[in-house]
């Protein structure tokens, strides 16, 4: 072991990502732990840190060949000792028949305790000739309840050595595996792993595994030849030419080890192989018939020290190198209203109820999550439908449905979001809706009728400051089924708009009673004559869904006198015309110009005063 290579490998191990994400499957024939334990540990660490496919993550499922009962405890310690911080592995059901001991041991599988659980009733031992048994395990993916979020894993070690008799035994073993797998429930993902000892792609046992049928195996490297230097990237044995410790040597020239999905685990749905992610760990394709550590190794492009360190460890850890294959996880459906539902809404208003639909399956790389197809339907007073493929978190897809507010009362309904994606969790989300529909507010300038416009008059003398006039505003017909009324603002129009203001009346939540609108005219600098404007008072519903604006209008006319006391007709003198106007106003007349003494009525006192002012 070159020290610089060891340091390079250890520096990368810390980068392994501990995330609940896509599925990483590994396989390794460990030759009964005859190799160097420290090197074996570092290779296990390298499996977690391997980012050859573009990302690193802890292995989720790993199967081993040649595991003896005596080495099982040590292997379990090595597996967990090499695991990234916070990740632990559970040993699946382990069985070892007497014949398997003579064949260097049985098959073992470990799985991440936080990612999977074993359904022990799914375990089976399948006799595959030559004293060997294939183990079949059944795992359930954590966080998913659908049966297609289960995966059957086969761990096999078929008869070794070349020759027709050994090929026949391997064929018998392959037939036994396929017979067992073909009888499983249709559509379940299946993973075939193991040291199959196939010498070529024309060997009958290999052809049996990839033959048509319910559980047909799919070779990630393709079904072509793996013989010779041009196919060296596919080889898994032997990493050393002259190894120690009873390990098999000869250099990298055989493909004995496989990880292959079934058709159901390669259909792009649910748990499915990610194309292009199959690799023999540490094999750079440039060491045919050589030790994998001969010269430089370039398994990790641009990381020579890291690649060389891994190659050195592979040469002394076992006489096979491990394999990795990546798989997607099923989609996870999340559906919720984008914002809190309104408690109340205005009748006949358009009330949108946007729904956020999202694929919230966690991942290290977006390639590791199955697509989430969705369908949105509505019932009751909610209308709107949609279909599509939801965005993967942190992005999301927004679907707009709306509430029918035609009828006053409680509007109820349901938004249903479903998904047909394989093994999606959950398959459906139901979003109930209940909103109180109320009438809109109704501004009125009269108490007993719905009055939306009036005219007001005002008289004043020039340079006397602000002259005011008031009128009440009502929320006509208000009861609990009607919105309160907000007075928002006023605008004045016309040539004299700048002389008018509304100093009183703006405010919210008018229910019963009246709001006093006070209008003011600035008389300072005004010349005698008539000034008019139209005041548009904007009102709206209280802050509820679908609130609407409604206006009332007040026409204001102000007569500015000459400033001569008693000049009621504005002709610049006090004469008969003024007497006539005073007599017309005789009686109670608060605010009238004819009320010369300001006692709130036009009477004989005002007439006497006018006579004194007579010119």
Domains of the chain: 3-111+193-202+216-327 (3.60.10), 333-438 (2.60.40.10), 440-561 (2.60.40.10), 562-615 (1.10.1330.10)
Phi and psi at 137, nearest 5°, equal -120, 155
Residue 14 clears pLDDT 80, i.e. is over it: no
* Residues constituting the chain: 615
**Percent of the chain clearing pLDDT 70 (strictly above):** 96
- The SS3 of residue 538 is strand
**Residues near 419 by beta carbon (within 8 Å), at least 6 away in sequence:** 331, 333, 372, 373, 374, 375, 427, 428
Positions of E strands within 205-361: 257-261, 279-280, 323-327, 333-337, 344-346, 351-359
Q: What pLDDT does residue 347 have?
A: 97
Q: Checking DSSP bridges between strand 443-444 and strand 529-541, what pairing results, if any? A: unpaired
Q: Look at residue 545 and tell me whether its pLDDT is greater than 90.
A: yes
- Position 20 scores a pLDDT of 52
Would the pLDDT of 556 be above 60?
A: yes
Those residues with Cβ within 8 angstroms of residue 533's Cβ, 6 or more apart along the chain or in another chain: 492, 493, 494, 496, 497, 499, 500, 555, 556
pLDDT value, residue 538: 98
DSSP 8-class letter at 369: B
- The pLDDT assigned to 102 comes to 66
Sorting pLDDT into bands at 50, 70 and 90, what band is 103? low
More confident of the two residues 604 and 139: 139
SS (H, E, C) 11-30: HHHCCCCCCCCCEEEEEEEC
- The answer to whether the beta carbons of residues 378 and 416 sit under 8 Å apart is yes
Q: What is residue 101's predicted lDDT score, i.e. its pLDDT?
A: 66
Q: Reduce the DSSP state of residue 585 to 3 states and report it.
A: coil
Q: How confident is the model at residue 260 (pLDDT cuts 50, 70, 90)?
A: very high
Q: What is the mean pLDDT of residues 296-304?
A: 98
**Residue range 541-551: mean pLDDT, rounded:** 95
Q: Which pair of tokens denotes residue 254?
A: 């055989």
Backbone torsions φ then ψ of 347, nearest 5 degrees? -55, 135
pLDDT band of residue 10 (cuts 50, 70, 90) is very low
Residue 576 backbone phi and psi in degrees, to 5: -55, -40
Amino acid 31: pLDDT: 95
Token output for 250: 């000869």
Residues 26-64 pLDDT 10s: 999 999 999 999 999 999 999 999 999 999 999 999 999
* 71-108 as b/e: b if 16+ CB within 10 A: bbeebbebbbebbbeebebbbbbbebeeebeebbbbbb
| Position 582 confidence tier, pLDDT thresholds 50, 70, 90 | confident
pLDDT at 160 exceeding the cut of 90: yes
Secondary-structure percent of the chain, ordered helix, strand, coil, rounded to 5 = 20, 35, 45
Residue in 409, 401, 408, 356 with CA at minimum distance from that of residue 382: 401
Maximum alpha-carbon separation in the chain? 145
pLDDT value of residue 85:
96
pLDDT band at 15 (very low <50, low <70, confident <90, very high): very low
Measured CA distances, 67 to 33, 64, 266, 329 (Å):
8, 7, 29, 29
Give the pLDDT mean for 204-217.
98
What is the average pLDDT value for the chain, to the nearest integer? 93
Average pLDDT over residues 433-447: 97
In this prediction, residue 394 has a pLDDT band, given cuts at 50, 70 and 90, of: very high
Is residue 1 very low, low, confident or very high in pLDDT (cuts 50, 70, 90)?
very low
* pLDDT band for position 266 (cuts 50, 70, 90): very high
pLDDT of residue 104: 80
Count helices and strands in the chain by DSSP H and E runs: 9, 32
């Amino acid at each position: 072991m070159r020290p610089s290579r060891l340091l390079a490998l250890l520096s990368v191990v810390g980068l392994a990502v501990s995330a609940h994400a896509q599925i990483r499957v590994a396989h390794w024939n460990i030759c009964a732990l005859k190799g160097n334990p420290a090197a074996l540990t570092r290779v296990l660490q390298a499996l977690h840190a391997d980012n050859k496919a573009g990302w690193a993550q802890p292995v989720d499922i790993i199967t081993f060949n040649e595991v003896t009962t005596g080495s099982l405890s040590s292997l379990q310690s090595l597996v967990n000792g090499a695991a990234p911080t916070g990740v632990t592995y559970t040993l699946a059901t382990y069985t070892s028949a007497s014949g398997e001991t003579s064949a260097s041991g049985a098959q073992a599988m470990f799985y991440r305790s936080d990612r999977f659980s074993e359904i022990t009733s799914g375990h089976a031992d399948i006799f595959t000739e030559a004293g060997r048994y294939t183990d079949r395990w059944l795992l359930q993916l954590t966080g998913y309840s659908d049966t297609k979020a289960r995966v059957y894993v086969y761990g096999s070690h078929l008869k070794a050595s070349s020759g027709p008799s050994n090929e026949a035994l391997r064929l018998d073993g392959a037939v036994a595996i396929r017979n067992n797998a073909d009888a499983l429930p249709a559509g379940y993902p299946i993973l075939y792993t193991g040291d199959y000892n196939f010498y070529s792609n024309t060997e009958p046992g290999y052809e049996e595994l990839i033959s048509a049928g319910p559980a047909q195996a799919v070779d990630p490297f393709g079904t072509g030849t793996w013989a010779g230097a041009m196919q060296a990237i596919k080889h898994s044995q032997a990493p050393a030419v002259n190894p120690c410790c009873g390990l098999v040597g000869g250099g990298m020239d055989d493909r004995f080890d496989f990880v292959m999905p079934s058709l159901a685990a390669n259909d792009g749905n649910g748990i499915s192989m990610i194309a292009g992610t199959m690799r023999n760990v540490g094999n750079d394709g440039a060491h045919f018939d050589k030790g994998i550590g001969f010269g430089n190794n370039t398994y990790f492009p641009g990381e020579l020290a890291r690649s060389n360190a891994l190659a050195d460890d592979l040469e002394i850890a076992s006489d096979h190198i491990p394999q990795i294959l990546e798989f997607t996880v099923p989609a996870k459906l999340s559906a919720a209203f984008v914002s809190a539902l309104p408690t109340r809404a205005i009748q006949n208003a358009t009330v949108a109820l946007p729904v956020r639909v999202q694929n919230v399956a966690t991942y290290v790389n977006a390639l590791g999550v199955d697509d989430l197809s969705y369908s949105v339907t509505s019932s009751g007073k909610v209308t709107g439908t949609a279909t599509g493929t939801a965005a993967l978190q942190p992005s999301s897809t927004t679907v707009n449905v709306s509430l029918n507010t035609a009828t006053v009362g409680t509007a109820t309904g349901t938004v249903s979001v479903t998904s047909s994606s394989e093994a999606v969790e959950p398959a459906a989300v139901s979003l109930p809706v209940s909103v109180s529909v109320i009438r809109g507010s109704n501004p009125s300038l009269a108490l007993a009728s719905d009055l939306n416009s009036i005219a007001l008059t005002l008289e004043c003398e020039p340079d006397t400051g602000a002259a005011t006039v008031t009128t009440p505003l009502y929320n006509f017909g208000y009861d609990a089924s009607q919105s309160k009324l907000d007075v928002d603002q006023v605008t004045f129009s016309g040539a004299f708009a700048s002389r008018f203001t509304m100093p009183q009346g703006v405010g919210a939540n008018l229910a019963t009673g009246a709001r006093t609108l006070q209008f003011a005219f600035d008389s300072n600098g005004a010349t005698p004559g008539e000034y008019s404007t139209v005041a548009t008072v904007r009102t709206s519903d209280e802050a509820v869904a679908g609130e609407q604006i409604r206006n009332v209008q007040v026409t204001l006319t102000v007569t500015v006198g000459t400033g001569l006391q008693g000049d009621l007709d504005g002709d610049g003198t006090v004469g008969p015309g003024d007497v006539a106007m005073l007599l017309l106003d005789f009686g109670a007349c608060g605010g009238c110009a004819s009320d010369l003494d300001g006692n709130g009525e036009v009477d004989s006192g005002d007439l006497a005063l006018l006579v004194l002012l007579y010119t």
